Amino acid sequence: MKNTQSNRFIRLFGTFVAGALLVLAQSCTSDPNSPGVEYMPDMYRSPSIETYVDYGVVGDSTSTELVNTQSARLPAPNTVPRGWNVYPYDNNLEGYEAAGEELMNPLVLTKEVMEEGKVVYGKFCVHCHGTGGKGDGKVAKNAKYNAVPPAYDSDELKNLEQGKMFHSIHYGKNKMGSHAGQISWEDRWKVVTYVKYKFMQKELGDSLLALNAAEEGDVEAEVAQPQEAVSEAESAEKDAETVATPNGDETAEATNE
C-alpha cells in the first residue's frame, strides 16, 4: 500500500519535472532576440490593430499574407486630408504679389474674431512681434536672433494687403518662419484680422467694429474687403473667393468620398 502511494508520487513528480524541462527547453531558441515560443500569442499581440505593429511577423515566423499590414499607412498618392487647403500661390515674389491682389479675408470684422485672433497672436506671434506689435517681443530682443520685425504700424507695414500677410504666414518671410503646419486657415485669417485692425490700422478697425456692431451683418461685403476697391468684373476676384473658403470644402470633399 505505502509502496504504491510513493510510487505514484514519484511518477507524478517525474512527469511534472519532465514537463517543466520540456517547457524550458522549448522557450530557448538560438536567436538571442527571439522571445521564444509563444504559448498564448494573444498575450503578446493584441487582436486589435495597433499603430506601427507589423502583423505579418509573429515570433520567428512571417506570414506573407499579413506582412506589412501595419495600421498607420501612408495616404494614397495625390490626396489631401479632409479640411486641408491647397495653397495655390508659389513661394516667390509673383506668388506674393498675386496673393496680395487676389486673396481676400473672408471674415467679417467682429469683436469675437478680434478676440480669437488675439489668442492666436498670443500663441504664435507675440514673442517676436511684441504685445503692442512694435517688433519688440522677447525673441526679437535677444541678440542671438539677429532680426527685428518692423512695427506693424510703420510706413512699411501699415498698408500691407491682407493677402500678403496671409502669404507671409504661410511661407514665412526671411527670418520669420512658416506657420503653415501650425495654424489652420481660419485661425490665420483671424490673426490677420487682429494684426490688421489692432496694430496696422487701428482707427479704421475701431470704426468698422462699431459700424458692424450697430448694423450687425448688413455690411459684410464692405468689411470683408476693406482695403482696395476691387473691380467687380475682374475674374481674379472669382478665383480668390474660391481660394478664400476657410474650410476648403471643395478640395477636401473631392478626395474623400
Output the smallest distance, CB 219 to ligand HEC, in A.
Answer: 25
Q: List binders of ligand HEC among 187-216 (CB under 6 A).
A: 191, 195
Assess 134 for contact with ligand HEC (CB under 6 A): no
Assess 224 for contact with ligand HEC (CB under 6 A): no
Assess 128 for contact with ligand HEC (CB under 6 A): yes
Partners of 62 in the beta sheet?
57
CA distance 182 to 124: 9
Total residue length of the chain: 257
| 206-231: burial string, b at 16+ Cβ within 10 Å, e else | eebbeebeeeeeebeeebbbbbeeee
Output the smallest distance, CB 183 to ligand HEC, in A.
Answer: 6
By beta-carbon proximity to ligand HEC, the closer residue of 56 and 88 is: 88
Residue of 206, 208, 167 lying closest to 188 (CA atoms): 167
Q: List binders of ligand HEC among 3-42 (CB under 6 A).
A: none
Output the smallest distance, CB 37 to ligand HEC, in A.
Answer: 56
By beta-carbon proximity to ligand HEC, the closer residue of 41 and 177 is: 177
Residue of 135, 155, 166, 149 lying closest to 201 (CA atoms): 155
By beta-carbon proximity to ligand HEC, the closer residue of 114 and 139 is: 139
For ligand HEC, the binding residue among 85, 98, 116, 149 (CB under 6 A) is 149
Binding pattern to ligand HEC, positions 150-189, x when CB under 6 A?
A: -------x--x---xx--xx---xxxxx-x---x------
Assess 105 for contact with ligand HEC (CB under 6 A): no
**Residue pair 162/155 in contact by the 8 Å Cβ criterion:** no
Residue of 129, 138, 110 lying closest to 199 (CA atoms): 129
Output the smallest distance, CB 194 to ligand HEC, in A.
Answer: 8
Output the smallest distance, CB 189 to ligand HEC, in A.
Answer: 11
CA distance 46 to 212: 57
By beta-carbon proximity to ligand HEC, the closer residue of 62 and 113 is: 113
By beta-carbon proximity to ligand HEC, the closer residue of 56 and 246 is: 246
Output the smallest distance, CB 152 to ligand HEC, in A.
Answer: 7
Q: List binders of ligand HEC among 44-103 (CB under 6 A).
A: none
Binding interface with ligand HEC (CB under 6 A): 124-125, 128-129, 139, 147, 149, 157, 160, 164-165, 168-169, 173-177, 179, 183, 191, 195
